[in-house]
Amino acid sequence: MRQGPARPAELAAAAATGDAAAAIDILVGRRVLLPALTPAPGSRRPLDHLAGLLGRIGTPAAGLWLDRIAAIKAGARDFAAAAGRPRDRLAILDRLHALLAAAGADRERDHGRMYVGRQPVYEDCARAGTVVLGGPFLKAAEPDLAPVLNLYRRVATAAAMLIADGQAQAFDRLVHDGAADAGGTVDLVRLLAATPSADLATAAVAVIEPVLRQAWDRLATDATVDEIALTPADIAHVGDAVERAVRHLLPHAPRPVTLGLDIASPDLMIAAASPAAIIRGDWRLVIGEVHPAVATAVQPVAMPFCPDPDRAADLAAGWALADAAGPARLGLADDGRHYQRSHIDWPEHPGFIDIALPGDAATGPRRRIRAAEVRVRRAADGTLRVQSRCGQDDDLGTLTRTALHRAMFTLASAVTGRHLAPRLVLGRLVVKRRSWRIRAGDPRPGGKPAEDADAFRAMRRWARDLGLPPAIFAKAPGEPKPVCILLDAPQGAEMLARLFDRDEPIDLAEMSPGPDDLWLDAGPEGRVTAEFRLSTRLRPAAPTKDPA
């Protein structure tokens, strides 16, 4: 890099010869321009990725960041080596947090914003143990889990159809307005501007959500019971209702081929008294949440816990490429500012190519194609396809799959009837925990139960009258996560009383697995459970008929 002052004549000469690199070099030397990085998320080795980019810049400021990265990596190694020494780990965490604060990194999680990578180490979930789910257990769980995952696929497919219809209408308007070229193709950026992903998702949710609610209401005729036992036909009934509603609106729409519709990633927990109870079949499986149309088991944040990350990445890429029109799948690039939730759910692999939008200067780990090189066309089957100048071809819904993920994130609670109070169970699978909504105008116990015995007793009476178990989760609007509350403890009752001070609805749910179903002995830390993050490719489902 050129150092020292540069004369205007020198800059003019560089510009006259078309030597853009020399002109930029001169401006950097004069500090008119400053080198900067806009890293995109998604790398399995983000610190190594950043260090490589900073090393090529070679400025004192880049050197400062290289020192910070080295210190963070050293702290992470020290943290791993301090396993079993909680005090040492806390001291190392304090050191790492100070490093991040000095670098201006924000570790806070806000509602509605992704939080992947906000912590320097995985201190909240890493344990010195390995749990393997054997074939017999998975075989026993599959009959109950498969109908629920297939319901998510059917809802996701319906949402993808509605999104594709919105894009098709915008495409037709652009063609009508003369925006198409001689071959009938439309500029990708122009079509994206006419179809914001948030608007597409909102329109899909507006159609599907009331249908889901009505379908579940027909199954739960008695909302006063603690538990409703479902059948596979009940689950199929909900999916049938969604498909009928969308087909009524779009009788001639082609079936979407959006990447991931046959993939689901459930987060599952086992409820059992002990490993011995699991072996003898005395267990239940509890759904934490299901991530449809994504393979979360190969997220970069999940890779440190994967026993064979390279094999998992290759397997997921194989799923993605199985129905591809070419050697790669396309997606909109993450620019580090407008984070595409969808992209982090696919691994860093040569089979994925990013389309970079105008103004995107991010440095991601994947190969990139400029959006200006991509056109949209209507295929013979009626679907919209994107094609680049270099010959890459893919489904438009696959490229813009963030719209689908927005819709499914919003619909997540409606898919499994979360508005219902009873626990929903299919065989040994807890589809939905028992829940309660305390509305703003409902009677609420108050006071300070941790200090006042009468207030504590009043809270316990209120909880018993409502049918609350001793261990619950409570969530207030605007909070990113629910909090665990033990109502038998005055401090737990105090936490709930503080939530009740807010003039807003509070959602409560039973803790499941409960305190008696924490099967994993963590030694000094007591009994715990484990959340298993799985990803699976679903087989085509056979039609299910209601019993006569």
Spatial distance between the Cα atoms of 394 and 439, rounded to a whole number of angstroms: 47
Spatial distance between the Cα atoms of 482 and 433, rounded to a whole number of angstroms: 14
pTM assigned to the model: 0.85
Between 32 and 134, whose confidence is greater? 134
Write down the pLDDT at residue 10. Answer: 63
Write down the pLDDT at residue 298. Answer: 85
Question: For residue 225, which of 57, 362, 420 has the smallest C-alpha distance?
Answer: 420
Cβ atoms of 538 and 149 within 8 Å: the answer is yes
Is the bond into 513 cis (omega within 30 degrees of 0)?
yes
Write down the pLDDT at residue 548. Answer: 29
Helices in 322-421 by DSSP H: which ranges?
Answer: 396-399, 402-415
Report helix, strand or coil for 2: coil
Which residues neighbour 91 within 8 Å (Cβ) at sequence distance 6 or greater? none
Mean pLDDT lowest for which of 29-43, 210-224, 269-283, 326-340?
29-43
Write down the pLDDT at residue 297. Answer: 87
185-198: pLDDT as tens digits:
999 999 999 999 99
Share of residues in the chain with pLDDT > 90 (%): 55
Write down the pLDDT at residue 547. Answer: 34
Write down the pLDDT at residue 425. Answer: 97
517: pLDDT strictly greater than 70: yes
Spatial distance between the Cα atoms of 276 and 265, rounded to a whole number of angstroms: 27
Print burial letters for 281-319: b (CB count within 10 Å at least 16), e (below 16). eebbbbbeebbbbbbbbbbbbbbeeeeebeebbebbbeb
Helix, strand, coil fractions of the chain, as percent rounded to 5? 45, 15, 40
Residues in the chain: 548
Mean pLDDT lowest for which of 12-16, 52-56, 149-153, 264-268?
12-16
Mean pLDDT of the 162-179 span: 97
Question: For residue 328, which of 392, 383, 270 has the smallest C-alpha distance?
Answer: 392
Which pair of structure tokens corresponds to residue 459?
A: 């809270």
Mean pLDDT of the 206-216 span: 98
DSSP 298-344: GSTTTGGG-SSHHHHHHHHHHHHHTT-SSSSEEEEPP-SSS--GGGG
Helices in 103-196 by DSSP H: which ranges?
Answer: 135-176, 188-194
Write down the pLDDT at residue 3. Answer: 43
On average, the pLDDT of the chain sits at: 86
Between 216 and 20, whose confidence is greater? 216
Question: For residue 294, which of 323, 260, 322 has the smallest C-alpha distance?
Answer: 260
Write down the pLDDT at residue 133. Answer: 82
Mean pLDDT of the 471-485 span: 89
360-370: pLDDT as tens digits:
766 666 788 99
Write down the pLDDT at residue 241. Answer: 98
Return the H-helix or E-strand segment holding 287.
strand 284-292
Write down the pLDDT at residue 544. Answer: 45
Mean pLDDT of the 219-239 span: 92
Read off the pLDDT band of 545 (50, 70, 90). very low
Nearest 5 degrees, angle CA 397-CA 347-CA 263? 50
Write down the pLDDT at residue 372. Answer: 92
Write down the pLDDT at residue 2. Answer: 42
Read off the pLDDT band of 273 (50, 70, 90). very high
Nearest 5 degrees, angle CA 504-CA 505-CA 508? 140
Spatial distance between the Cα atoms of 107 and 115, rounded to a whole number of angstroms: 8
Spatial distance between the Cα atoms of 227 and 389, rounded to a whole number of angstroms: 57
94-104: pLDDT as tens digits:
999 999 888 88
For the domain with range 435-511, which CATH number is right: 3.60.110, 2.20.28, 3.40.50, 3.30.1490? 3.30.1490
Spatial distance between the Cα atoms of 36 and 53, rounded to a whole number of angstroms: 10
- Locate the domains of the chain by residue range: 35-102, 137-325+374-415, 435-511
Write down the pLDDT at residue 116. Answer: 52
Spatial distance between the Cα atoms of 370 and 358, rounded to a whole number of angstroms: 8
53: pLDDT strictly greater than 70: yes
158: pLDDT strictly greater than 70: yes
Spatial distance between the Cα atoms of 396 and 387, rounded to a whole number of angstroms: 9
407-449: pLDDT as tens digits:
998 998 899 999 999 999 999 999 999 999 999 889 899 899 9
98-155: pLDDT as tens digits:
998 888 877 666 544 555 556 677 655 555 677 888 888 989 999 999 999 999 999 9
Separation of first and last alpha carbons in the chain: 80
Write down the pLDDT at residue 478. Answer: 79
Read off the pLDDT band of 546 (50, 70, 90). very low
Write down the pLDDT at residue 253. Answer: 93
Read off the pLDDT band of 349 (50, 70, 90). confident
Question: For residue 232, which of 533, 497, 544, 501 has the smallest C-alpha distance?
Answer: 544
